[in-house]
Structure 1
Protein backbone atom coordinates (compact mmCIF):
# COMPACT_ATOMS: atom_id res chain seq x y z
CA UNK A 1 0.00 0.00 0.00
CA UNK A 2 1.35 3.43 -0.97
CA UNK A 3 0.56 6.77 0.64
CA UNK A 4 -1.64 7.61 -2.36
CA UNK A 5 -3.90 4.68 -1.47
CA UNK A 6 -5.01 6.53 1.67
CA UNK A 7 -5.37 9.90 -0.06
CA UNK A 8 -8.95 11.19 -0.49
CA UNK A 9 -8.78 10.41 -4.23
CA UNK A 10 -7.60 6.85 -3.63
CA UNK A 11 -10.14 6.12 -0.92
CA UNK A 12 -12.97 7.82 -2.84
CA UNK A 13 -12.21 5.77 -5.96
CA UNK A 14 -12.43 2.51 -4.02
CA UNK A 15 -15.63 3.54 -2.26
CA UNK A 16 -17.25 4.73 -5.50
CA UNK A 17 -16.35 1.43 -7.18
CA UNK A 18 -17.85 -0.47 -4.23
CA UNK A 19 -21.07 1.58 -4.38
CA UNK A 20 -21.54 1.13 -8.14
CA UNK A 21 -20.69 -2.56 -7.90
CA UNK A 22 -23.38 -3.08 -5.27
CA UNK A 23 -25.91 -0.73 -6.91
CA UNK A 24 -25.65 -0.97 -10.70
CA UNK A 25 -28.20 1.80 -11.19
CA UNK A 26 -25.59 4.30 -9.97
CA UNK A 27 -22.92 3.37 -12.51
CA UNK A 28 -23.67 6.37 -14.70
CA UNK A 29 -23.12 8.60 -11.63
CA UNK A 30 -19.78 7.03 -10.72
CA UNK A 31 -17.71 10.18 -11.35
CA UNK A 32 -20.09 12.36 -9.37
CA UNK A 33 -20.05 9.92 -6.44
CA UNK A 34 -16.26 9.77 -6.49
CA UNK A 35 -15.95 13.54 -6.67
CA UNK A 36 -18.35 14.06 -3.76
CA UNK A 37 -16.61 11.47 -1.60
CA UNK A 38 -13.23 13.00 -2.40
CA UNK A 39 -14.45 16.40 -1.22
CA UNK A 40 -15.83 14.97 2.03
CA UNK A 41 -12.64 13.06 2.78
CA UNK A 42 -10.41 16.02 1.87
CA UNK A 43 -12.37 18.20 4.26
CA UNK A 44 -12.16 15.62 7.03
CA UNK A 45 -8.39 15.24 6.67
CA UNK A 46 -7.85 19.00 6.63
CA UNK A 47 -10.09 19.69 9.63
CA UNK A 48 -8.37 17.02 11.71
CA UNK A 49 -4.89 18.31 10.83
CA UNK A 50 -5.78 21.95 11.49
CA UNK A 51 -7.47 21.26 14.82
CA UNK A 52 -4.68 19.00 16.10
CA UNK A 53 -1.94 21.47 15.12
CA UNK A 54 -3.72 24.70 16.12
CA UNK A 55 -5.23 23.59 19.43
CA UNK A 56 -1.96 23.52 21.43
CA UNK A 57 -1.46 27.21 20.53
CA UNK A 58 -5.10 28.10 21.26
CA UNK A 59 -5.55 29.09 17.63
CA UNK A 60 -8.26 26.56 16.75
CA UNK A 61 -10.94 29.27 16.48
CA UNK A 62 -8.99 31.30 13.92
CA UNK A 63 -7.81 28.20 12.07
CA UNK A 64 -11.29 26.73 11.70
CA UNK A 65 -12.80 30.04 10.52
CA UNK A 66 -10.00 30.37 7.96
CA UNK A 67 -10.52 26.80 6.77
CA UNK A 68 -14.32 27.06 6.55
CA UNK A 69 -14.16 30.39 4.70
CA UNK A 70 -11.78 29.08 2.07
CA UNK A 71 -13.60 25.77 1.72
CA UNK A 72 -17.02 27.40 1.24
CA UNK A 73 -15.78 29.59 -1.60
CA UNK A 74 -13.68 26.85 -3.16
CA UNK A 75 -16.63 24.44 -3.35
CA UNK A 76 -18.27 26.75 -5.89
CA UNK A 77 -15.34 28.55 -7.49
CA UNK A 78 -12.78 25.75 -7.79
CA UNK A 79 -9.19 26.90 -8.24
CA UNK A 80 -5.77 25.66 -9.22
CA UNK A 81 -3.75 23.57 -6.80
CA UNK A 82 -0.83 21.21 -6.67
CA UNK A 83 -0.86 18.00 -8.71
CA UNK A 84 -0.10 15.98 -5.58
CA UNK A 85 -2.86 15.90 -2.96
CA UNK A 86 -0.29 15.69 -0.18
CA UNK A 87 1.37 18.91 -1.36
CA UNK A 88 -2.08 20.56 -1.36
CA UNK A 89 -2.71 19.22 2.11
CA UNK A 90 0.64 20.42 3.48
CA UNK A 91 0.60 23.86 1.86
CA UNK A 92 -3.05 24.42 2.79
CA UNK A 93 -2.38 23.50 6.41
CA UNK A 94 0.66 25.79 6.57
CA UNK A 95 -1.33 28.67 5.04
CA UNK A 96 -4.11 28.27 7.59
CA UNK A 97 -1.75 28.06 10.55
CA UNK A 98 0.36 30.96 9.27
CA UNK A 99 -2.77 33.11 8.86
CA UNK A 100 -3.93 32.14 12.35
CA UNK A 101 -0.60 33.10 13.95
CA UNK A 102 -0.63 36.43 12.10
CA UNK A 103 -4.23 37.05 13.16
CA UNK A 104 -3.41 36.39 16.83
CA UNK A 105 -0.43 38.76 16.64
CA UNK A 106 -2.62 41.33 14.87
CA UNK A 107 -5.16 41.21 17.69
CA UNK A 108 -2.56 41.24 20.47
CA UNK A 109 -1.13 44.47 19.07
CA UNK A 110 -4.57 46.05 19.31
CA UNK A 111 -4.75 46.58 15.56
CA UNK A 112 -7.93 46.78 13.49
CA UNK A 113 -8.76 46.20 9.83
CA UNK A 114 -8.51 49.54 7.94
CA UNK A 115 -11.96 49.92 6.41
CA UNK A 116 -11.30 51.82 3.16
CA UNK A 117 -8.24 49.85 1.92
CA UNK A 118 -9.93 46.59 2.89
CA UNK A 119 -13.08 47.55 1.01
CA UNK A 120 -11.03 48.37 -2.12
CA UNK A 121 -9.15 45.05 -1.92
CA UNK A 122 -12.37 43.08 -1.39
CA UNK A 123 -14.01 44.87 -4.34
CA UNK A 124 -11.06 43.94 -6.55
CA UNK A 125 -11.35 40.34 -5.34
CA UNK A 126 -15.05 40.33 -6.19
CA UNK A 127 -14.31 41.44 -9.75
CA UNK A 128 -11.64 38.76 -10.15
CA UNK A 129 -14.04 36.14 -8.81
CA UNK A 130 -16.75 37.24 -11.25
CA UNK A 131 -14.30 37.08 -14.16
CA UNK A 132 -12.39 33.86 -13.44
CA UNK A 133 -14.69 31.62 -11.38
CA UNK A 134 -15.22 28.77 -11.65
CA UNK A 135 -11.71 27.55 -12.43
CA UNK A 136 -12.09 23.82 -12.98
CA UNK A 137 -9.91 21.35 -14.83
CA UNK A 138 -10.72 17.63 -15.16
CA UNK A 139 -14.09 17.98 -13.42
CA UNK A 140 -15.16 20.76 -15.81
CA UNK A 141 -16.26 18.03 -18.22
CA UNK A 142 -18.79 16.81 -15.66
CA UNK A 143 -20.83 20.02 -15.81
CA UNK A 144 -22.92 21.73 -18.47
CA UNK A 145 -22.41 25.38 -19.45
CA UNK A 146 -25.53 26.30 -17.50
CA UNK A 147 -24.22 24.56 -14.38
CA UNK A 148 -20.88 26.40 -14.74
CA UNK A 149 -22.76 29.71 -14.85
CA UNK A 150 -24.56 28.68 -11.67
CA UNK A 151 -21.20 28.01 -10.03
CA UNK A 152 -20.05 31.48 -11.08
CA UNK A 153 -23.15 33.07 -9.58
CA UNK A 154 -22.81 31.10 -6.35
CA UNK A 155 -19.10 32.03 -6.14
CA UNK A 156 -19.90 35.74 -6.46
CA UNK A 157 -22.74 35.46 -3.93
CA UNK A 158 -20.57 33.59 -1.39
CA UNK A 159 -17.68 36.01 -1.82
CA UNK A 160 -20.05 38.96 -1.27
CA UNK A 161 -21.65 37.33 1.77
CA UNK A 162 -18.30 36.49 3.36
CA UNK A 163 -17.04 40.03 2.71
CA UNK A 164 -20.12 41.53 4.35
CA UNK A 165 -19.71 39.13 7.26
CA UNK A 166 -16.10 40.23 7.64
CA UNK A 167 -16.76 43.98 7.45
CA UNK A 168 -20.15 44.39 9.11
CA UNK A 169 -21.04 41.50 11.39
CA UNK A 170 -17.90 39.97 12.86
CA UNK A 171 -16.15 42.35 15.27
CA UNK A 172 -13.28 40.11 16.41
CA UNK A 173 -10.15 41.50 14.64
CA UNK A 174 -8.44 38.10 14.50
CA UNK A 175 -11.45 36.51 12.79
CA UNK A 176 -11.76 39.42 10.38
CA UNK A 177 -8.09 38.94 9.52
CA UNK A 178 -8.31 35.20 8.79
CA UNK A 179 -11.45 35.62 6.69
CA UNK A 180 -9.63 38.23 4.62
CA UNK A 181 -6.59 35.97 4.22
CA UNK A 182 -8.76 33.01 3.19
CA UNK A 183 -10.51 35.11 0.56
CA UNK A 184 -7.15 36.34 -0.72
CA UNK A 185 -5.75 32.81 -1.06
CA UNK A 186 -8.83 31.61 -2.89
CA UNK A 187 -9.02 34.52 -5.32
CA UNK A 188 -5.31 34.07 -6.05
CA UNK A 189 -5.99 30.45 -7.01
CA UNK A 190 -8.56 31.62 -9.58
CA UNK A 191 -6.33 34.04 -11.45
CA UNK A 192 -4.08 33.24 -14.42
CA UNK A 193 -1.10 34.37 -12.34
CA UNK A 194 -2.05 31.95 -9.58
CA UNK A 195 -2.51 29.21 -12.16
CA UNK A 196 0.94 29.82 -13.68
CA UNK A 197 2.56 29.98 -10.24
CA UNK A 198 1.19 26.65 -9.05
CA UNK A 199 1.73 24.99 -12.42
CA UNK A 200 5.37 26.07 -12.26
CA UNK A 201 5.77 24.17 -8.99
CA UNK A 202 3.87 21.25 -10.49
CA UNK A 203 6.33 21.18 -13.37
CA UNK A 204 9.16 20.59 -10.88
CA UNK A 205 7.60 17.28 -9.85
CA UNK A 206 9.86 14.30 -10.42
CA UNK A 207 6.85 12.15 -11.25
CA UNK A 208 5.61 12.92 -14.80
CA UNK A 209 2.28 11.26 -14.03
CA UNK A 210 1.58 13.98 -11.47
CA UNK A 211 2.25 16.85 -13.88
CA UNK A 212 -1.39 17.54 -14.51
CA UNK A 213 -4.06 19.88 -13.37
CA UNK A 214 -6.59 18.53 -10.97
CA UNK A 215 -9.60 20.03 -9.24
Structure 2
Protein backbone atom coordinates (compact mmCIF):
# COMPACT_ATOMS: atom_id res chain seq x y z
CA UNK A 1 0.00 0.00 0.00
CA UNK A 2 1.49 3.32 -1.08
CA UNK A 3 2.06 6.17 1.36
CA UNK A 4 -0.42 9.08 1.18
CA UNK A 5 0.61 11.91 -1.11
CA UNK A 6 1.51 15.35 0.34
CA UNK A 7 -1.81 16.63 -1.03
CA UNK A 8 -3.73 13.88 0.77
CA UNK A 9 -1.80 14.46 3.99
CA UNK A 10 -2.65 18.16 3.86
CA UNK A 11 -6.31 17.34 3.23
CA UNK A 12 -6.35 15.00 6.21
CA UNK A 13 -4.78 17.69 8.40
CA UNK A 14 -7.22 20.43 7.43
CA UNK A 15 -9.90 19.75 10.07
CA UNK A 16 -7.30 20.11 12.85
CA UNK A 17 -5.76 23.17 11.19
CA UNK A 18 -9.21 24.80 11.10
CA UNK A 19 -9.85 23.93 14.75
CA UNK A 20 -6.48 25.40 15.76
CA UNK A 21 -7.14 28.58 13.77
CA UNK A 22 -10.62 28.89 15.25
CA UNK A 23 -9.32 28.49 18.81
CA UNK A 24 -6.65 31.15 18.32
CA UNK A 25 -9.03 33.68 16.78
CA UNK A 26 -11.90 33.04 19.20
CA UNK A 27 -9.52 33.66 22.11
CA UNK A 28 -8.04 36.77 20.47
CA UNK A 29 -11.30 38.39 19.34
CA UNK A 30 -14.19 36.56 20.97
CA UNK A 31 -16.79 34.38 19.28
CA UNK A 32 -19.12 37.11 18.00
CA UNK A 33 -16.34 39.26 16.54
CA UNK A 34 -14.62 36.42 14.68
CA UNK A 35 -15.70 35.90 11.07
CA UNK A 36 -15.58 32.56 9.30
CA UNK A 37 -13.46 33.97 6.49
CA UNK A 38 -10.84 35.05 9.06
CA UNK A 39 -10.64 31.50 10.37
CA UNK A 40 -10.29 30.12 6.86
CA UNK A 41 -7.55 32.64 6.05
CA UNK A 42 -5.67 31.83 9.29
CA UNK A 43 -5.79 28.14 8.34
CA UNK A 44 -4.67 28.90 4.78
CA UNK A 45 -7.81 27.66 3.03
CA UNK A 46 -10.79 29.17 1.21
CA UNK A 47 -14.00 29.93 3.08
CA UNK A 48 -15.78 27.24 1.05
CA UNK A 49 -13.27 24.68 2.27
CA UNK A 50 -14.08 25.55 5.88
CA UNK A 51 -17.78 24.96 5.25
CA UNK A 52 -17.08 21.56 3.72
CA UNK A 53 -15.76 20.43 7.10
CA UNK A 54 -17.87 22.58 9.41
CA UNK A 55 -21.23 23.82 8.04
CA UNK A 56 -21.37 26.90 10.29
CA UNK A 57 -19.34 28.91 12.77
CA UNK A 58 -21.46 27.42 15.55
CA UNK A 59 -20.57 23.87 14.48
CA UNK A 60 -16.91 24.83 14.23
CA UNK A 61 -17.05 26.22 17.78
CA UNK A 62 -18.63 23.02 19.07
CA UNK A 63 -15.97 20.90 17.40
CA UNK A 64 -13.27 23.15 18.87
CA UNK A 65 -14.75 22.72 22.38
CA UNK A 66 -14.79 18.94 21.99
CA UNK A 67 -11.21 18.96 20.71
CA UNK A 68 -9.82 21.16 23.49
CA UNK A 69 -12.01 20.53 26.55
CA UNK A 70 -14.25 17.48 26.24
CA UNK A 71 -11.37 15.15 25.47
CA UNK A 72 -9.58 16.10 28.70
CA UNK A 73 -12.74 15.63 30.78
CA UNK A 74 -13.13 12.14 29.31
CA UNK A 75 -9.47 11.32 30.03
CA UNK A 76 -9.86 12.48 33.65
CA UNK A 77 -13.03 10.43 34.07
CA UNK A 78 -11.26 7.32 32.78
CA UNK A 79 -8.36 7.94 35.15
CA UNK A 80 -10.73 8.43 38.10
CA UNK A 81 -12.61 5.22 37.32
CA UNK A 82 -9.41 3.15 37.65
CA UNK A 83 -7.90 5.01 40.61
CA UNK A 84 -7.76 3.21 43.95
CA UNK A 85 -5.60 5.55 46.06
CA UNK A 86 -6.56 8.46 48.34
CA UNK A 87 -9.19 10.70 46.73
CA UNK A 88 -7.50 13.80 48.15
CA UNK A 89 -4.38 12.99 46.14
CA UNK A 90 -6.38 12.40 42.97
CA UNK A 91 -8.25 15.69 43.29
CA UNK A 92 -4.98 17.58 43.67
CA UNK A 93 -3.43 15.77 40.70
CA UNK A 94 -6.46 16.41 38.52
CA UNK A 95 -6.48 20.14 39.29
CA UNK A 96 -2.81 20.47 38.40
CA UNK A 97 -3.22 18.35 35.25
CA UNK A 98 -6.26 20.37 34.13
CA UNK A 99 -4.32 23.61 34.46
CA UNK A 100 -1.33 22.20 32.57
CA UNK A 101 -3.47 20.88 29.70
CA UNK A 102 -6.17 23.55 29.52
CA UNK A 103 -5.86 26.55 31.78
CA UNK A 104 -2.36 27.64 30.84
CA UNK A 105 -2.96 27.71 27.09
CA UNK A 106 -5.50 29.02 24.62
CA UNK A 107 -8.00 26.32 25.53
CA UNK A 108 -8.58 28.05 28.86
CA UNK A 109 -9.71 31.11 26.95
CA UNK A 110 -12.77 29.18 25.77
CA UNK A 111 -14.10 29.21 29.34
CA UNK A 112 -13.74 32.98 29.43
CA UNK A 113 -15.52 33.30 26.07
CA UNK A 114 -18.51 31.34 27.36
CA UNK A 115 -18.74 33.35 30.57
CA UNK A 116 -18.67 36.60 28.59
CA UNK A 117 -20.79 35.69 25.56
CA UNK A 118 -23.06 32.82 26.63
CA UNK A 119 -26.08 35.08 27.19
CA UNK A 120 -25.99 36.18 23.55
CA UNK A 121 -25.70 32.63 22.18
CA UNK A 122 -28.15 30.44 24.13
CA UNK A 123 -27.75 27.38 21.89
CA UNK A 124 -23.99 27.38 22.36
CA UNK A 125 -24.47 28.00 26.08
CA UNK A 126 -26.68 24.90 26.36
CA UNK A 127 -24.14 22.91 24.38
CA UNK A 128 -21.32 24.07 26.67
CA UNK A 129 -23.32 23.16 29.78
CA UNK A 130 -23.99 19.66 28.42
CA UNK A 131 -20.51 19.12 27.03
CA UNK A 132 -18.27 20.73 29.68
CA UNK A 133 -19.96 21.97 32.84
CA UNK A 134 -22.24 19.02 33.63
CA UNK A 135 -19.58 16.31 33.02
CA UNK A 136 -17.00 18.29 35.03
CA UNK A 137 -19.34 18.68 37.99
CA UNK A 138 -20.33 15.01 37.80
CA UNK A 139 -16.67 13.95 37.79
CA UNK A 140 -15.64 16.08 40.76
CA UNK A 141 -18.88 15.40 42.63
CA UNK A 142 -18.38 11.67 42.17
CA UNK A 143 -14.90 11.92 43.68
CA UNK A 144 -16.19 13.87 46.69
CA UNK A 145 -18.91 11.25 47.22
CA UNK A 146 -16.33 8.44 47.00
CA UNK A 147 -14.19 10.22 49.59
CA UNK A 148 -17.18 10.51 51.92
CA UNK A 149 -18.19 6.88 51.41
CA UNK A 150 -14.66 5.72 52.24
CA UNK A 151 -14.54 7.81 55.40
CA UNK A 152 -11.69 9.86 53.96
CA UNK A 153 -13.83 13.02 53.83
CA UNK A 154 -16.29 14.13 56.44
CA UNK A 155 -19.94 14.33 55.30
CA UNK A 156 -20.30 17.59 53.37
CA UNK A 157 -22.94 18.86 50.92
CA UNK A 158 -21.57 17.67 47.59
CA UNK A 159 -22.93 20.32 45.21
CA UNK A 160 -21.59 23.37 47.12
CA UNK A 161 -18.28 21.57 47.66
CA UNK A 162 -17.93 20.99 43.92
CA UNK A 163 -18.47 24.69 43.28
CA UNK A 164 -15.86 25.55 45.92
CA UNK A 165 -13.34 23.29 44.17
CA UNK A 166 -14.06 24.69 40.70
CA UNK A 167 -14.37 28.41 41.54
CA UNK A 168 -10.63 29.14 42.09
CA UNK A 169 -9.82 27.49 38.76
CA UNK A 170 -12.33 29.74 36.98
CA UNK A 171 -10.86 32.76 38.74
CA UNK A 172 -7.39 31.85 37.50
CA UNK A 173 -8.67 31.29 33.96
CA UNK A 174 -10.27 34.73 33.91
CA UNK A 175 -7.10 36.29 35.28
CA UNK A 176 -4.84 34.44 32.85
CA UNK A 177 -6.88 35.51 29.83
CA UNK A 178 -7.57 39.10 30.85
CA UNK A 179 -5.14 40.74 33.29
CA UNK A 180 -2.49 38.04 33.37
CA UNK A 181 -0.12 39.68 30.91
CA UNK A 182 -0.32 43.00 32.76
CA UNK A 183 -0.11 41.82 36.37
CA UNK A 184 3.24 42.63 37.99
CA UNK A 185 2.74 39.70 40.40
CA UNK A 186 1.89 37.27 37.62
CA UNK A 187 5.31 35.60 37.47
CA UNK A 188 5.98 35.70 41.21
CA UNK A 189 2.78 33.79 42.11
CA UNK A 190 2.22 30.87 39.74
CA UNK A 191 -1.10 29.16 39.15
CA UNK A 192 0.45 25.91 40.34
CA UNK A 193 1.29 27.51 43.70
CA UNK A 194 -2.24 28.87 43.99
CA UNK A 195 -3.71 25.44 43.25
CA UNK A 196 -1.52 23.86 45.92
CA UNK A 197 -2.68 26.46 48.45
CA UNK A 198 -6.32 26.01 47.45
CA UNK A 199 -6.20 22.24 47.80
CA UNK A 200 -4.41 22.44 51.15
CA UNK A 201 -7.07 24.78 52.54
CA UNK A 202 -10.05 22.89 51.16
CA UNK A 203 -8.86 19.37 51.78
CA UNK A 204 -7.95 20.03 55.40
CA UNK A 205 -11.56 21.04 55.79
CA UNK A 206 -12.76 17.87 54.01
CA UNK A 207 -10.57 15.28 55.71
CA UNK A 208 -12.21 13.33 58.52
CA UNK A 209 -9.01 13.70 60.59
CA UNK A 210 -7.01 16.70 59.38
CA UNK A 211 -3.26 16.21 59.66
CA UNK A 212 -1.55 17.88 62.59
CA UNK A 213 0.71 20.83 61.82
TM-score after normalising by structure 2: 0.31
Higher CA-based Rg: 2
Which structure has more relative contact order (CA 8 Å, sep 6+)? It is 1
